[in-house]
Chain A
Amino acid sequence: MVVRVLVRPDSYFDSVSLMAVSQRLKELPEVADAVAIMGTEMNKRLLEGAGLLTAESAAAAPADLVIAVGAETESAAAEAIAEAGRLLQRRGGAATGAAGGASESAWSGAAAQGAQAPRTIRSAVKAEPGASLALISVPGLYAAREARMALARGLHVMLFSDNVPLEAEVALKQLAHEQGLLLMGPDCGTAILNGVGLGFANAVRRGSVGIVAASGTGAQELSTLIDRLGGGVSQLIGTGGRDLSPAVGGRMTLDGLRLLQADPATAVIVMISKPPAPAVAEAVRAAAQAGSKPVVLCFLNGGLSIDAAAVRAISLATGEAEAAAAARLAIAADDRPPFAPAPGRRLVRGLFAGGTLCDQALLVLERALGPVACNVHPDPDRRCGPTGSAGHTLLDLGDDELTQGRPHPMIDPTLRRQLLLEAADDPETAVILLDVVLGHGAHPDPAGALTGAIFEAVSRGVAVVASVTGTEADPQRRSAQVAALRQAGAVVLPTALQAASAVATGLAGLQGSAGREARLQGSAGSAGLQGSAGREARLQERREDA
C-alpha cells in the first residue's frame, strides 16, 4: 500500500466536514483508507492505528490539517489528495443560504413548494395562519377526513373529490352547518367566492346575481350567459350533486340560499340543479319564498332551462323584458351559418366535457329524434358503454368510468379528439355535437386542441356543431375559441341548448325529408329567437305534465 500525506498548516476544519471528506475519499477507486483530520495528539494516534502515520503527519500541530491516504497505486493516492483539496475548497466557499421557516411569501407561491410544502391542512394552518377555505381534490377514500380536518380549523370547504360516501357527506354538512361554514360538494366542480373562481370556473363579471348550484357545468353555462347578457355574479355556491337527495335534504342548498338572502351584494338568486326529491323540492321552494329576494328555480331535465334561467335572472335584476333579453342572447353571439351533412349520414354523436350539458342535449334530442343512447342515461335500457352505440349517441366524457386513470376532459382533450376522429370515420355519422368549456382550471386552448379533428370530420362530410361556455375575460377568451372552431369548419351556436336544439331540428328535418338535401339553420330552426322563449315555456309545461 502506498501512503501519501498532505499537511496544510493552520487550516482549521470542523471534524464533521473532515469526516465527510474522508468518506468521499474512501469511495474513490483503489483507495484503501483515507483520513482527513486535524493534527491533534489523539488524532495522530488514530492515524498510527490505521497505519497512515508518516514522519510528516507525526510532526503536524493541532491547528494543521492532515490528509492521509492509503492506496494501491501512487496515482490513486495522488488523485485522492487532489480530490480532498477540491472538496475542502468547495466546503469553504459553499455559503449556503439555509431556507428559513415559514413566511408570508408562502401565500404568494414563492416559497414552500414541493417537498418543503406543508403535508397536512393542520400544519399549513399552523405555519400560515389566515387560510379561509380548503379546496380538496384528493381521492374520495381520503377526502372526507381532509374535509373534517379543514372544518375543525374553521375553514370553508370545497370538496371537488367524488366517491365520498353518502353518510360522510351528511355528517360533514351537519358539522359545517353547525359551525356556519360552507361544505361545497362532494363532487363540486365549480364555485365563485368573492370573485375568485374555484375548481372549474369562468371569469364572470361581479354583479348582483347569486347562484346556488348542484350542477358544475350547468352553473358555468348559467354564469357565463348572465355575464354575456351584461349581468354579473355575486357569489356562486356549489353544493355537490347529491345535496338535494332525501338523505342530504338540501342542507348546503338551504344554507346557500340563506347566505345569499343575507348578502347585501346579491339582488337575485338562481338555484340550479337536477329536479330534487319531492320533499326536498318542497323545502327549497319554501326557503325560496321565505326571503325577500326573488329566487329563480332552475330544475334541469324538465324545468326551466339554463338559458331561460339566465334570461329570467337578468330580467329580474334589470327590469328588461325576458323576450328582449332572450333575443340578445342569440343575436349577440352568432350569425348562424348553415350546416349540411353529406347524403346518407343520419346519426348524431355527442361528445361532452360537461355532464349537465350532456343531460340537457339528451333531453332535447330525444324529444326530437326518439331514443338516444348515452353512457349516463337515466333509463338503463338506453344506457350504452363508454364506446357508444350503433344509433344516436351522446357520451359524457367526464363520467367516472371514463376519467379512471386519466384527467378530466376539460383538462385533457386527448380522449375527445380521438373519439371525434372515430365518430367521423363512421359513415352513418351526420353531426358531431360538442361543448367547449373554458375558464380557470380548464385546458388553455380546448378549441385549438380539437380543430384538427374537426377539420378532418368536416372534410369527410360530417357536420360539427358546438357551443362555447365562457367569457371574454376567461384565459382562453371566448371569441378566440369560437373563431378557431369556425375556422376549422364547425358551426358554433350561442349556447349549449341552442346547439343541441339546432342538431335536433336539423336531424328531425333529415328524417322527415329523406332523400332530400337538408339545409339547416342554426339555433331553434325556423322558430326563431322570439320562439325560443316560448318553446322553453312549452317544454317546461310538457315536462311538468310528465
Chain B
Amino acid sequence: MMEQELRVINVGAPHFAEALRAQGAPVIQLNWRPPADGDPGLIALLEQVSGPEVDAANAQALAAIQTGHPVLVGVERAGDVVEGLTRTTILHSGPPNRWETMAGPQRGAVIGALMLEGLADTPEAAEALAASGEITFRANNDCGCVGPMAGVISYSSALFVVENRTHGNRAYSGLNEGYGKVLRMGAYAPEVLERLRWLNTDVADALRQAVGAMGGGLDLRSLIAQALHMGDECHNRNKASGALFLREMGPHLARLGLAPEALARMLDFMGHNEVWFVNLAMAASKAVLDAARGTPESTVVTCMSRNGYEFGIQIAGLPGRWFTGPAQPVKALYFPGFTAADAALDIGDSVITETAGIGGFAMAAAPAIVQFVGGTPDLAAELTRQMYEITLAESDHYSIPTFGFRGTPTGIDARRVVETGILPSINTGVAHRLPGIGQVGAGLVHPPANLFADALRALVAAGGRPSGG
C-alpha cells in the first residue's frame, strides 16, 4: 500500500469520485448497477457458481477457444460426413424442433429439401411426409453443423468442411444461395431447387478440387481477421471476406479447366453474393467453439441458435443440453416494400458468429452497417464495448482497428450475462414469415433473458458434472 500509487475504482456514489478528482487522484467511476437487477434468487445463484473451480474451468474453455484455428479443408456431401444423417433425416437451425412448431421459413425449407432429395414430388406430398413422423428432425448444432436462417441440411447437401487445426474437430455448413427466393428463407420453387442442385454438384465439385489444390486448405482465421480490418463483422456484412475468399480461391478455380462460361457463372455467383462468406464464418466459429464443449463446470456459452420458434443456448459444462426460450422479434430496418408485419421471428444458426466473438460482438469494426443498430458509429462502438462486460477475454486473433486493435470480446460467460443483465447483442437478417419470399430486412436482436440463468441453475443441479450428449 505504502509503495503503490493510489488509483481508485469508485463503486457507488459518484460524489466520492469527484472528491478524489479534486485531489488530483486517478479514479474510475463505475457505471454500477445491482447485480442481476437486484434479484436475490439470482444473486444467490451467482454465488453458487462463483467458486475457483468454475473460474478454472472457464479459463480452460477460454484457452480452447483462443487457440482454435479454423481452416477450410474440403467440400463434401452431408450424407458422407455428418454422423447419423440418413436419407430421411433433415437438419435444421436452432434448438431441436418439430414440424408442428416450425416457423414458416423453416417449413418451406423442409418442403424444398424433401423434394430436392426426391422423397416427395409436390409441396403437398412433402408437407404430408414431414408431418407423418417418418422424417427425423435434428438440430444442426447437435450434429456439428450450422446453417443460416432455416438452416436446412439434407443428405445431398454440399457442406464446407472446416477443421479446427489445433484441436482436430470439424464443423460443417452449406453453400450460401444468395438473396431473394432461396431455400434458407423457405422458398422451394423449381428455380430454387435447380440452383441448389447446381451448388451441390458443379460448384461443390469445383470448390472441392480448388481447396484440395491449395494444399493445407484455406486459413479462415486469418481471412476473418483481415476482413474485420476491412469493415466486415462477418455476420451481417461479408463484403470483404467474400472478396478475400475469391482472391484466394480464384486462381485454383481457374486451373480446373472448366468451360469459361461455367467458371464465369460460379465466380459471378460467389462474387456478387454478398453473404457468400457468412456460411464459412459460421462453420469457422462452430469449429472453434466446439473445442470448448464438455469442459466440466464451465459457464462459457458454446452455442447460441434460433429457429423462428425458439432461441436456444448451450454452455461448455453441459454439452448437448439446450436452454430455450421464445424466439424474439428483430428490431430491424426493412427492405423496400416490407414492414415489421412481414417479419418472421429471430431465426438461424448464424448467431454462432457472435458466440465466437465476431458478428455483433465486432460491430465497431463495421461502421458501414451501423444503421442497423441505431445509426451512428458511436452507438456501434458502444454495443461492442458492452460485450466486453459479458465476455472473459479479448480475442487473440480478431481485433478492432478503431479500438486501438483491441481484441474482440470473446468467451461469453453466462454468469456475467446474469450479473450485468447485458444480453448478447446479435446482428441478424430477417426472413419473411411466409415460406419462399426471402429476406425482408436486417437488424438487431437479443436472446431471451432467462436462458443464461436456466443454464447456471442446471449446472448447479448437475453438481458441475457434464451431462447429456
Contact = CB atoms under 8 A, between A and B. Distances in A.
A142 B35 CA distance: 8
Given A103-B404, A145-B35, A134 B8 contact: yes
Given A46-B337, A117-B28, A117-B29, A182 B404 contact: no
Contact of B6 (A103, A116, A193): A193
Interface string B316-351: 000000000000000001111100000000000000
B242 to A, nearest CB: 15
Interface stretch (A17-25, A217-225, A331-339, A491-499): A17-25
Interface string B1-29: 11011111111110111011111011111
Contact of A16 (B17, B47, B372): B372
Interface string B408-434: 000000001001101000000000000
Nearest to A263: B2
Interface stretch (B137-145, B206-214, B374-382): B374-382
Contacts of B4: 132, 194
A194 B2 contact: yes
Interface string A167-178: 000000000000
Interface string A109-137: 10011111111111111111011111111
Contacts of A546: none
A124 B20 contact: no
A128 B375 CA distance: 28
Interface stretch (A71-79, A94-102, A362-370): A94-102
Nearest to A136: B11
Given A99-B382, A196-B20, A121 B11 contact: yes
A98 B400 CA distance: 12
A116 B377 contact: no
Contacts of B371: 16-17, 19-20
Q: Interface residue tally of chain B, by bracket?
A: 35 or more
A98 B378 contact: yes
B438 to A, nearest CB: 11
A42 B16 CA distance: 60
B450 interface: no
A47 interface: yes
Interface stretch (B67-75, B184-192, B361-369): B361-369
A258 to B, nearest CB: 12
B21 A124 contact: no
A225 B371 CA distance: 61
B195 interface: no
B27 A440 contact: no
B7 A132 contact: yes
Interface string B280-298: 0000000000000000000
A160 B7 contact: no
Given A121-B11, A126-B388, A132-B4, A23 B31 contact: no
Given A23-B334, A265-B2, A109 B9 contact: no
A20 B443 CA distance: 11
A124 B30 CA distance: 7
A119 B402 CA distance: 21
B441 interface: yes
B81 interface: no
B368 A118 contact: no
A99 B378 contact: yes
Interface in A1-41: 14, 16-17, 19-20, 22-23, 33, 35, 37
A530 B370 CA distance: 76
Contacts of A145: 35, 43, 47
A338 B203 CA distance: 103
A259 B1 CA distance: 9
Contacts of A146: 11, 32
Contacts of A461: none
A235 interface: yes
A112 B11 contact: no
A333 B8 CA distance: 35
B31 A119 contact: yes
19 contacts: A22-B333, A46-B335, A52-B336, A94-B376, A96-B377, A108-B26, A109-B17, A109-B29, A126-B388, A131-B7, A134-B9, A135-B10, A137-B12, A137-B13, A138-B34, A145-B43, A196-B6, A198-B8, A440-B20
Interface of B: 1-2, 4-13, 15-17, 19-23, 25-35, 38, 43, 47, 180, 333-337, 364, 367-372, 375-378, 380-382, 385, 388-389, 400, 402-404, 406, 416, 419-420, 422, 441-442
